[in-house]
Each structure stands twice: as C-alpha cells, then as structure tokens.
Structure 1
Amino acid sequence: MRKLVLLALVGLGAQLVDGSLGMAYGVTSTTLLLAIGTNPAAASATVHLAEIGTTLVSGASHWRFGNVDWRVVAKIGIPGAVGAFAGATFLSKLSTETAEPVMSIILLALGVYILVRFTAWGLRKDQLGKPLRKRFLGPLGLVAGFVDSTGGGGWGPVGTPAILASGRLEPRKTIGSVDTSEFLIAVAASLGFLVGIGSEDIDYGWVAALLIGGVIAAPIAAWLVRHVPPRVLGSAVGGIIILTNTRTLLRGDWIDAPDGVRYAFYAVIYAVWAAALAYSIRQHLAERGQEPPAAEPAVPADQAPPDADKAAAST
C-alpha cells in the first residue's frame, strides 16, 4: 500500500511538472520504476498506459485554458505515434540486462539536455507568429516518439525544447500542444508494448496509482503553465533526472562503482545542480526586472482625490 501511495504522489508531482513544462512525466516516473527494480520494458509500458488517461485529461485542461494549437498537434502527433509504436516493439525485444543501462543512458542524456537547455538559454521569443512547417514537425515527432518509448519518456524533452527553440510558438501553446499530442503517443506505445511483451509483466495497480496522481494534477498544471517560470522548473527537473540515472548506472553491473567513486559523482552533481538553479533564478528575476511596468490608468480630473487638487492649487 505504501508503494502505491508513493507512486500516486510521483504521478501527481510528475504531471504537475509535465503539464507546466511540457515534459518529464514519463522520464520521472520511469526513472522511479527502474530504481525499484522494474523490468525496463514493463516500466515503460506501465508509464505509457497511465499516460493514456493523464494526457487525455491534460489535453482537455490545456484546451479549456486556450493553450492548444491543433495544427501543431496533428503535424507532430501522427508521426510521433508511428515512432512510439516502433520504439515500443524495439525495446520489447531487448533483454533486461541490456535494456536497463541503455534506458538509463537515454534518460541521463535527456536530463543533461533539459538542465543545460533551460539553464543556459531559457526561452526564445523573437520568432513568435511564424508558421511551424510539417517538414520540421514530422521528423521531430517521429524521433521524439521513438525516444519516448525506448527511454520510458522523451516526447516532451525532445519535442518541447525543439519547438521552443524555434521561437515560433508562444511557450504556453507549445507546452499545451505537446501535452495534448502525447495522447496519441501513449496509445501507440501501449499497443506496441502489449504486442511485444503482453500484459503479464505489467502491474495494473501501479498503472492506476500513477494515473490517479496524474489526473489530479493535470488541471492544476494547465493553469500553472501561465505562472510558473519554465526556466527554473527545467533546471530543477533536469537535475533530478541526472542524479537518479547516474545512481542507476553507477550501481549497475556495467560499472558497479565503489562507494567512494559514487559519492564523489553525487557531490559534483549536487554542486552543478545547485549552481544551475541559482543561475536560472537570477536570470528569471533579471528578465522580470527588464519588463516595463504596467501603465496606471488615467484618473479623470473630476474624479481626482482632494489631496491632488490641493497640491495643484499650491503650485
């Protein structure tokens, strides 16, 4: 029961991040499932089955808040579903001994990308309004869908920063569109895993726990996307993913590092992570300080307070 509650809380927290940043539900949830010893293919299948529900609710919530561009959803979601199905069947054929370190390496790379991308550059805003073309979104969706299935997450980490980096779609619509299109990826990946490994290794209690937490968080995250600074959140999530998957690799059979080496790595990661968070916060505050203050509404002369009349008379 304690494990189910933990999974529900992870699902809630991961969806809060995913819905407000456009990434990290799958990466965060899969990382936890791997850490507690779940088969890599089963871990990814569990997360994608839960995502069918969470992405449906998340997409509906983003639509209600006006965060969705349906043209982007169609152009990236359909090729993404093809890539997700292919990635799921590919991962299902790998042995657990091979798949676990491979998945951890993919997740670690995604974590580094998230941390560096959002810490160093933040969000680009100088290309807003220019169209996103199919020749860009199609290949992006195909690659992101494949990475998502094989890594247990990656649709958001690959798709969201790429669209944000183009600067052609405002951040809230980028996040809302990527989250909404992820429903297609979750369905396709789940079908691929059911074809590849069947349903024997999937714990549907874990699926339900992740789903419940994610469904609770989805509407809140769709509202938060207008208020939470993505730069700071991206740095925070990237550090968590890097730390957890470094731990998995160092403790695995491929490396099996001694305690001293592991602790040294952890110390370096904590230091870099803290520095990245501090830098992101400073940059966010600096960007806010550069914004022009909102103009105060003019007050008609006949409605001016008495003190103002006295001050004008005295001059």
Structure 2
Amino acid sequence: MHKLVLLAVVGLAAQLVDGSLGMAYGVTSSTLLLAIGTNPAAASATVHLAEIGTTLASGVSHWRFGNVDWRVVRRVGVPGAIGAFVGATFLANLAMDTAKPVMSLILLTLGVYILVRFTVKGLRKDRLGQPLRKRFLAPLGLFAGFVDATGGGGWGPVGTPALLASGRMEPRKVIGSIDTSEFLVSVAASLGFLVALGSAGIDMVWVLALLLGGVIAAPIAAWLVRHLPPRILGSAVGGIIVLTNARTLLRSDWLDLGGTAVEAWVLGGIAVIWAAAIAWSVRAYRREQADEARAAADLATDDPAVAAPAPAQDATPHLDEPVAAPR
C-alpha cells in the first residue's frame, strides 16, 4: 500500500511538472520504476499506459485554458505516434544504453540554448505567430516519438525545446500542444509494447496509481502554465533540460561519475546557476512590466482623450426638470 501511495504522489508531481514545463512525466516515473527493479521495456510500457489517461486529462485541461494549437498537434502528433510504435517494438528487443549519452548531449545543448536565450533576451518576438512548417514538425515528431518509447520518456524533452527555439509560438502554447499531442504518442507506444511483450511485467495497479496522481495534477498544471510569464517559463524549462541531461551524461559509460563527489558538485553548480537564471528572469520581467506601465501612463498624459476623465454625472436635478413627488 505504501508503494502505491508513493507511485500516486510521483504521478502527481511528475504531471504537475510535465503540464507546467512540457516535459518530465515519463523521465520521472520511469526512473522510479527502474530504481525498484523493473526492466526497461516493462517500465516504459507501464508509464505509457498511465500516460494515455494523464495526457488525455492534460490535453483537455490545456484546451479549456486556450493553450493548444491544433494544427501543431496534428502535424507533430501523427508522426510522433509512428515513431513511438516503432520505438516500442525496438526497445522490446534492444536496450539503448549506447545511444542514451548521445541523445542527452543533444538535449543538453538545446537546454543551454533555451536557458541562455530566455534568461538574457526573453521571448523571441520577431517570428512569433509565424506558422511552423510541416517539413520541420514531421521529422521532429518522428524522432521525439521514437526517443520517448525507447527511453521511457523524451517526447517533451525533445519536442518542447525544439518548438521554443523556433520562436514562433508562445511558451504556454508550445507546452499545451506538446502535452496534448503526447496522447497519440502514448497510445501508439502502448500498442507497440503490448504487441511485442504482451502484458508481461506490466502491473496494472501501478498503472492506475500513476494515472490517479497525474489526472489530479493535470488541470492545476494547465492553469499554472497560462499564468506564468513566458520569460520565466522559458528559463525554468531550459534549466530542467540542462540539469536532467547533465545527470544522465555524468552517469553514462562516457564519464562514469555517478554517485561521486564530482557529480554532486556539478549538479549542485547547475542548480545554483538555474536558480540564479530564474531570479534574473523574474527581475527582468518586473522591469518590463514597470516600463510598460510607465509607457501607458505617458501615453495617457500625452493624449487628451485618454487623459481627460469623463465628466461626472450631476446627481442634483436641474430647476427646469420635474422632480418626482414622494409617494
């Protein structure tokens, strides 16, 4: 019973982060399942079965808060589903320990770019609103879906930074669209695992525990992402990408520093830089808000139509107007 409660809490926390930042549900949940001895294929299958429900709840919540671009969902989600099905059947027969460091290095580079871009310059606005092309979204979805199924998570870490880096969508719509399209990926990956593995190693009680926590968190996360300023949200997303993938690289066969003092110092240093970046973004956002408020006040002063208040209505009746007799 204690383990089921823990799984539900992990599902809630993972979906709260995933729905707010567009990533981390699969990575967080898969990490816990692997830590308690579940084999990689069964862990990924368990997480993806739970994600069918959590992504559906998250998608509906994001849609109700206006965070979804349905054209992007369709163009990235369908190729993502194909990639996820292929990745699931591939993982059932082969582990991806060799490819994992390469993947993490690519994601780490993207994370550094997002962190620096949003912290230093804020949201790129010169391309905001321009359409994303299918020739960009389709390969992105195919690759992200494959990574997601083989790694037990990866749809958000691949898709979210790529769309943010394009500068063509608001961060909240990037996150809402990625979370919503993940429903297609989760269904396809689950079908792939069931075809390749059957139900071997999949504990449906664990699936339901993860699902329960995720469903509770989904509407909270969708509301939160709508109210977080884009600059702060971008810094938060970039930091979590850098921290997560730096940890993976440090524990890979390339470096083999897992559990050492070096790992603790490196991850601690990244966490400090991440916190400083978010603090910087908060200050920059407040300055931007203050500048906008001053500009609006100056405009109101310069424009008489805005500056002059409307004349107050005189409550006293004029002498030539009839006054109603008291009843």
Mapped partners of 1:119, 1:265: distance in 2:
21
Mapped partners of 2:92, 2:308: distance in 1:
68
Mapped partners of 1:127, 1:85: distance in 2:
33
Residues 231 and 257 of structure 1, relative CA distance in 2, 3 Å threshold:
closer
| Aligned pair partner of 1:234 in 234, 237, 254 | 237
Match of 1:220 in 2: 220
Deviation at 1:169, TM superposition (A): 1.7
Match of 2:24 in 1: 24
Mean Cα deviation higher: 181-190 or 279-288: 279-288
Q: List per-residue Cα deviations over 1:174-221 (Å, max 9, x = no partner).
A: 111111111000000000111112112111121111101110000011
Residues 137 and 243 of structure 1, relative CA distance in 2, 3 Å threshold:
closer
| Aligned pair partner of 1:269 in 267, 270, 282 | 267
Does the 8 Å CA contact 2:115/2:235 hold for their aligned counterparts? yes
Give, as a single letter, the amino acid of the residue that structure 2 aligns with 1:14.
A
Mapped partners of 2:217, 2:146: distance in 1:
26
- Report sequence identity in percent: 60
Match of 1:121 in 2: 117
1:140-155 pair list within 5 angstroms = 140-155=140-155
1:1-315 pair list within 5 angstroms = 1-94=1-94, 98-99=95-96, 101-102=97-98, 105=101, 108-109=104-105, 112-113=108-109, 115-122=111-118, 123-228=123-228, 229-235=232-238, 237-238=240-241, 241-242=244-245, 245=248, 249=252, 262-291=260-289, 292-294=291-293, 295=296, 300=309, 302-303=311-312
Deviation at 1:288, TM superposition (A): 3.4
Mapped partners of 1:197, 1:180: distance in 2:
26
- TM-score normalised by structure 1 residue count: 0.84
Residues 204 and 110 of structure 1, relative CA distance in 2, 3 Å threshold:
farther
Give, as a single letter, the amino acid of the residue that structure 2 aligns with 1:269.
L
Mapped partners of 2:258, 2:13: distance in 1:
32
Residues 131 and 232 of structure 1, relative CA distance in 2, 3 Å threshold:
closer
Residues 21 and 6 of structure 1, relative CA distance in 2, 3 Å threshold:
same
Residues 62 and 105 of structure 1, relative CA distance in 2, 3 Å threshold:
same
Mapped partners of 2:72, 2:90: distance in 1:
27
Mapped partners of 1:176, 1:241: distance in 2:
21
Does the 8 Å CA contact 1:231/1:284 hold for their aligned counterparts? no
Instruction: Quote the RMSD (CA, aligned, Å).
Output: 2.7
Helix, strand or coil: the match of 2:292? coil
Deviation at 1:32, TM superposition (A): 2.1
Q: List per-residue Cα deviations over 1:214-243 (Å, max 9, x = no partner).
A: 100000111001223313432553365347
- TM-score normalised by structure 2 residue count: 0.81
Does the 8 Å CA contact 1:82/1:142 hold for their aligned counterparts? yes
Does the 8 Å CA contact 2:236/2:274 hold for their aligned counterparts? no
Structure possessing the higher radius of gyration over alpha carbons:
2
Mapped partners of 2:264, 2:248: distance in 1:
11
Does the 8 Å CA contact 1:52/1:183 hold for their aligned counterparts? yes
| Structure 2: unaligned runs, 5 residues or longer | 298-305, 314-327
| Structure 1: unaligned runs, 5 residues or longer | 305-315
Deviation at 1:276, TM superposition (A): 2.4
Deviation at 1:8, TM superposition (A): 1.1
Mapped partners of 2:8, 2:273: distance in 1:
30
Q: List per-residue Cα deviations over 1:135-182 (Å, max 9, x = no partner).
A: 111111111110111111111111111111111122221111111111
Give, as a single letter, the amino acid of the residue that structure 2 aligns with 1:146.
F
Deviation at 1:287, TM superposition (A): 3.6
Helix, strand or coil: the match of 1:93? coil
Does the 8 Å CA contact 1:87/1:146 hold for their aligned counterparts? yes
Mapped partners of 2:2, 2:99: distance in 1:
26
Does the 8 Å CA contact 1:35/1:248 hold for their aligned counterparts? no
Residues 203 and 110 of structure 1, relative CA distance in 2, 3 Å threshold:
farther
Give, as a single letter, the amino acid of the residue that structure 1 aligns with 2:284.
A
How many equivalent residue pairs? 295
Helix, strand or coil: the match of 1:293? helix
Does the 8 Å CA contact 1:28/1:241 hold for their aligned counterparts? no
Mapped partners of 1:117, 1:29: distance in 2:
26
